[in-house]
Structure formats: structure tokens, C-alpha cells
């Protein structure tokens, strides 16, 4: 008996920016796609934040408006994250961190202020992550931050010269919590850190070409268990 061959035709829809259509994708460079708890797709682009309406197949755009202090703080959106309370957080590449109030359509800004040591470490946000205790961690291009949501202030974890218990590199791009409660911090050209939030100590894992048992590269883009 000859087995029948089944040919499947897979169709795909391409969504692109159309300068003549205000309901098209705002830009063709996409940094992040995130689905929230209600099944809504959010897309971070080089030209703002987009919300996709699946039924109408159109995009609602949120962009920075210099005349509106409640608009998106910066148009390059690299990270989107919904926390356990349903708050939507937007990390930008150069403008800092936003919390988006979906009821009012307003963005609440968290930015680096050189005159405020408890402000965000850097306006370049590489990662947003909530741990099992409800702590919100922000990976920036100047270290790891923990946000106190009551005060809006940040605690900082940064590289300190000659201190092996600190970050090896301040360019934090990925954060993950394992089943034991340890945080794993991935850096750009810095390697991988195991972080104990209780003790505040870091244990570094880096690539050494002469040792095949080490990680293969010191730039860590993503972490999973």
C-alpha cells in the first residue's frame, strides 16, 4: 500500500507600515511582541507602541507627543511587560520606563535623573521582570534596578571595581527567576550572573575559550529554565 501524501498550504498575513493608513503598523522595525492576560497583542516598534485589534485587523498607535506630558515617553519601544496586578510596563531605548494606564490612556514616566540617586539608573531599558514576591526588576544599560512601587524610587545594583560580589557588567539585557528563587542576570559582553536577592550577592559565569565547560559567549540575550 502506498502512503498518501498530504500537502498543506500554510497562509500568512503580513502587516506592514503604510504611510497612507493611520491604522497600519506604525513602523516595520519590531523589537517586541507581547500578549497580555486578555489576549491583546502589543507591539513595540521604532516608532511607538501598537495595540492590535484582532477583529478589525487594525493597529492603534501610541506615540511620543512633545506637547503631551502623558504620552509615551519615547518612540523606540524595546520591552513590554504586564505584572501580576495587570499593570502594563513599557521599556524604551532612550526615554526610560513607562507605566501605561489603559483606562485613561496615560503613561506614567520613570526616568534617569542625574540629580536623584534613587531614580532609574539609565533611560535605556533592556529588560522588565517581576519575581515571585512581586518585586519589579528593571535591567538597564547602567545596572540592575528594583522599583519600590509605593514611592517610585529605585534600588540599584551595579558593577563595583574590585568587588566580585557585584555585577560584572552594567549592561543588563535579560532577567529570569529559577524555581529556587534565584535571579539570573544576562548581560551584554558581561556573561551570566546568579543573583541572590536576599543576600544581594552575585556569582559570575563567563566564557573562557580554554575551558569547554564554561558558557559559549558572554552576551546573553535570553534565559529560561
Residue 34 has pLDDT above 70, yes or no: yes
Q: What is the pLDDT of residue 210?
A: 94
Of 81, 199, 192, nearest to 147 (Cα)? Answer: 81
Q: What is the pLDDT of residue 133?
A: 95
Residue 189 has pLDDT above 60, yes or no: yes
List, for residues 37-55, the tens digit of each pLDDT value.
999 999 999 999 999 999 9
List, for residues 91-144, the tens digit of each pLDDT value.
999 999 999 999 999 999 999 999 999 999 999 999 999 999 999 999 999 999
Residue 2 has pLDDT above 70, yes or no: no
pLDDT band at 4 (very low <50, low <70, confident <90, very high): low
Give the whole-angstrom CA distance, residue 81 versus residue 48. 15
Give mean pLDDT, residues 178-189: 97
Contact predicate 30/42, CB 8 Å: no
Q: What is the mean pLDDT of the chain?
A: 95
Give mean pLDDT, residues 25-37: 98
Residue 77 has pLDDT above 80, yes or no: yes
Give mean pLDDT, residues 43-71: 97
> What's the count of helices (H) and strands (E) in the chain, helices before strands?
0, 16
Q: What is the pLDDT of residue 8?
A: 75
Neighbours of 46 (CB within 10 A): 16
List, for residues 203-213, the tens digit of each pLDDT value.
999 999 999 99
Residue 155 has pLDDT above 60, yes or no: yes
Q: What is the pLDDT of residue 3?
A: 59
Give mean pLDDT, residues 197-203: 93
Contact predicate 64/48, CB 8 Å: yes
User: Taking phi first (over 0 means left), then psi (-120 to 50 degrees means alpha), and beta for anything else, what does residue 150 get?
Assistant: alpha
Measured between alpha carbons, how far is residue 188 from residues 48, 77, 145, 167, 198 in Å? 24, 19, 16, 12, 25
Specify the DSSP class assigned to residue 74. Answer: -
Amino acid at each position: 500500500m502506498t502512503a498518501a501524501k498530504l500537502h498543506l498550504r500554510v497562509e500568512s498575513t503580513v502587516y506592514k507600515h503604510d504611510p497612507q493608513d493611520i491604522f497600519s503598523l506604525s513602523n516595520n522595525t519590531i523589537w517586541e511582541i507581547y500578549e497580555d492576560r486578555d489576549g491583546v497583542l502589543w507591539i513595540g516598534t521604532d516608532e511607538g507602541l501598537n495595540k492590535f485589534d484582532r477583529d478589525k485587523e487594525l493597529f492603534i498607535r501610541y506615540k511620543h507627543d512633545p506637547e503631551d506630558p502623558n504620552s509615551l515617553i519615547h518612540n523606540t519601544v524595546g520591552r513590554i511587560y504586564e505584572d501580576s496586578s495587570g499593570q502594563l510596563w513599557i521599556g524604551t531605548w532612550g526615554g526610560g520606563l513607562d507605566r501605561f494606564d489603559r483606562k485613561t490612556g496615560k503613561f506614567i514616566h520613570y526616568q534617569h535623573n542625574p540629580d536623584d540617586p534613587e531614580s532609574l539608573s539609565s533611560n535605556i531599558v533592556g529588560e522588565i521582570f517581576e519575581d515571585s514576591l512581586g518585586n519589579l526588576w528593571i535591567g538597564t544599560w547602567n545596572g540592575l534596578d528594583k522599583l519600590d512601587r509605593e514611592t517610585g524610587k529605585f534600588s540599584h545594583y551595579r558593577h563595583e571595581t574590585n568587588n566580585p560580589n557585584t555585577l560584572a557588567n552594567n549592561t543588563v539585557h535579560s532577567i529570569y527567576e529559577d524555581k529556587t528563587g534565584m535571579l539570573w542576570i544576562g548581560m551584554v559582553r558581561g556573561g551570566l550572573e546568579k543573583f541572590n536577592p536576599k543576600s544581594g550577592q552575585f556569582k559570575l559565569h563567563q566564557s573562557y575559550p580554554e575551558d569547554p565547560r564554561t558558557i559559549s559567549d558572554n552576551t546573553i540575550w535570553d534565559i529560561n529554565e
